[in-house]
Structure 1
Amino acid sequence: MSQRKLRLGAFIMATGHHVAAWRHPGSQADAGVNIDHYIALAKTAERGLFDQVFVADSPGVWHQGGRESLSRQGRLSYFEPVTLWAALSQVTSHIGFVATASTTYEDPFLLARKFASLDHISKGRAAWNVVTTSAENVFGNFGLEAHPDPATRYARAHEFVDVVKGLWDSFDDDALPRDPASGVHLVPEKLHELNHIGRFLKVKGPLNIERPPQGHPVIVQAGSSEDGKELAAATAEAIFTAWTSLAEAQAFYKDVKGRLAKYGRRPEQLLVLPGISPVIGRTEAEAQAKWAELQALMHPAVGLATLEPFWPGEDLTKWALDAPPPYIPEAPRGIHSRAQVVLELARREGYTVRQLYEYLAGARGHWVVVGTPQTIADRMQEWFENGAADGFNVMPPVLPQSLDEFVDLVVPELQRRGLFRTAYEGRTLRENLGLERPASRYAQPQAKAA
């Protein structure tokens, strides 16, 4: 039997991924700023032997639609992720922590320092989800006149990631002997200034914290546009993506893995982790009833707001909810990959407006699977064994309820099939993901010379 195992991440959206989850009795309405809630989730995910927990983040308020939908949102107040993960690392011992941070709206020196600190605080369990920020309503928070276009954002992102990695290499692994007998704390020749001058950034260095335990925190990327795939191929070690059919997921998997060679990388150096939002029942009928219960909690104004990015400028309140959309556009600028998934789904399934927003309400275009633990495991196994996924980013529709159900019901089924670990293999996130520890850019020339 193959030793290849599923990689699992828990994608934590405070109250859960369904847009009406905050109203559900199985959720915690104040979850975004409830540290006890997050402690419980992290411990549950670790009990389930997940590789990592992940939170999305934005440098602004998440909202689409008018005042009516705004008044019914449950995702407006939430912790900054690096701060949150630093706290949760102290009540866990194995699970990794993926924090989102923007290359468009953050400073590379400060970001490098934050994530290096998190890696030290967690003893090697930090990861950075690299995003360029697609939301066009946040630029005013940073004194800018406009949101940069996608090409500019991604060009900056390539440079930004390289700078951050260079800063993480400021200290050689053995730069700090800290020898009281000799009085030598640092070997100066093993501390390096970056002296980067590029198109977007000018950063001198060195970083004022030693090299992280993992060498570099794990680099994650969460985009499936052409620019996103190229950024992932060049820089990422895991990619979060959204697909709703096996064929689409297989095509993406083959595409992104095929881009690695030109960057001198091997296919196993990038893990492809599609999102899956499981609605779990002990019977199919129970699972369908749970899904219907969630949908009944959603106000139509909130549902229509989920469609606005895909029909920009359209007054959706005039549409008949139980008829197909009057037209299906090409993917709008700025949200390329997710728009393509959603609009192709609408075409393929012939959804009415209501059916489409009900689907999106569950996980914003990610794969929603409603069924028994066996059904969920069947679908995951099919994708895993047929070139569509190296694992999954599990997106519980209601928290904490749905994560508890996945750990208690689906994880044992995956283990029974030999698809998932029964114990952690290592102590760091890299070790558990099967990823190599990167050598310092300053050590590599020496190794080649030897």
Structure 2
Amino acid sequence: MFIIPYLVLAAVALLFSFICYMMFFGVPGRKKTADHREIEKKASEVPSREDIVKKVPLPKSEPHKEKKLYTDEKTQILPPRLGKTKKAEADEEKTKIFSKEELEKTAERDPVPHAKGPFPPEPNPVILNEEPDVDFLEEYFVKHFLNRYGAVSHTVEQDTRKVTHRLIDGLHMRRKEAVDTLTHIMVQEALQNAQRTYVMMPTDTVLEMVNDAFYDVAHGSRSDTKTILAYDALRAMPRMDESEFHALALLLLIHYSRNTDNYDAGHLKSYTEKYVVPFVGKLPDEYSGYQQLEYLHCVSLENKDIAFGQVLHDSYPLIFAFRGCMKAELLSVYPSWPEGSIVSSLYNSYYKPAAVDESMLSELMNDMGIEDTGRREGILAIVESRPVPYDKKEMEYTLGKISPELEKMREAWDNSMLRRSSLTLMGMYIAKICIRETIGEDFDLSHWM
């Protein structure tokens, strides 16, 4: 019973093998048909590869001819040279070791003279072996300045002699001290810049300005702020003109100072004639002038405009920021006002104390002997009881009533870069010496230094 399944599987395997054999090899002993015989006949008629080779004749080969080579002299190959090339010799020459005798012979040779150009060589500086005289130094400084330029006029020579004599004479030193000072390099540089400034702007004001700055350099300590400012100012001044000096002066007068006498219209008019008129007539009228001042580190151009009336409004509050009060109101608080201590206000028929701000009002009350705190506070409250906000139109009208020149100053300020300019320390210094030599007023800059 167990053998029958295996027999069945073996029979199936044999049957499968037989069928595969028949498919690949066909039935044994099967006769060829006519078609098969025709195909075999055609196949036997196809020539073989050997027969084809035998039947095709080979081409006759020509006798071998030797090619002649053409040699051009331009491309002729040269045989290698024997010995060292020039390049190799030059390389060896660069690293050649010289003997002591050869070096001594080379040192004994005369130096090669310099080729002469179209210009004469620069003269050697004057070395002072002995202590010179002041007059000799003055003449030498004049010639040295003139020799720096190719051609100068007789006027330039006269101006140079004038400013050089003024600078040396203005030192007010003994001869030995003057010689020691003038031979210092920093002082000589300041002297040359002062000469250049005056020769370019030969006016009496500029002459005294450079004399003031040179005096500060010669007499000051080398590390002192004032000395450095004077030295830098003399370097910048040759690249400026008088209109720029005036602009700096007005900035210092209006933006950085306050006159305590400007407590009424009459004093404001006098102030304008003395301090404003000498400078307002000639100012830089273009942006480039103020840009140059900024480049020379004299001013700083801000992004915000400050009108002329606003400056006065802030600098003189009891004049422009408050209308004042009735005269009876002041007398009600303190009946014994001295003569001249109450003045007319700029607004309508009001009155006010003769002070420009609270600090000056406090000093005025001290001079009047008012010590009572309540009374002092009462006077201040009455004075500031009618505030006036800044208004451009009203300010124009008020300034026009005070002085036409003050209105002209307002117009020049508001229409130029003065409204955006703020002074640097060097700008303050130049403005100071310009004001001093123009109107005779000196400013103390110590609290800015």
TM range, smaller chain: under 0.3
> Greater RCO between the two (CA within 8 Å, min separation 6)?
1
TM superposition score normalised by structure 2: 0.21
Q: Which has the larger radius of gyration?
A: 2
Which structure: greater strand fraction?
Answer: 1
TM-score where L is the length of structure 1: 0.21
Task: Report which of the two has the higher share of helix.
Answer: 2
